[in-house]
Amino acid sequence: MNVRFEEQAVAQIRAAHAWWRANRLAAPLVFADEIASVVARLRAAELVAGALYPSRSVPGVRRVLCPRTRYHVYYVIDDELDAAVILAVWGGKRGRGPPLKRT
């Protein structure tokens, strides 16, 4: 399966990766490794990775936890694109989910 990224997800990944590299010197690539692992699972068509996440704005959202960094990856399956579309990557400690949208 193809994996695509919404623009807000790309920006969130870049910001989190930069923060992780600057602030977690003992494991600067853990965040990147976990995101790569989620993408690999989605490419392998593990479409039920993660749990359904309720969203009024985007139906069918699923959420996968990256266990070491505590970030969540929010995605949907787009049958027309034959792709998993990553909508957001959001720190689990924030206490609320991200604003979700499709462009």
pLDDT of 26-81, one tens digit each? 888 999 999 999 999 999 876 667 889 999 899 999 999 999 999 999 999 999 99
For domain 2-94, the CATH class is alpha beta
State if pTM tops 0.85.
Answer: yes
Burial readout 70-101 (b: 16 or more C-beta within 10 A, e: otherwise): ebbbbbbbeeeeebbbbbbbbeeeeeebbebe
- List of residues 6+ apart from 92 with CB closer than 8 A: 65, 70, 71, 72
Bigger pLDDT: 96 or 71? Answer: 71
Instruction: Calculate mean pLDDT across residues 7-19.
Output: 96
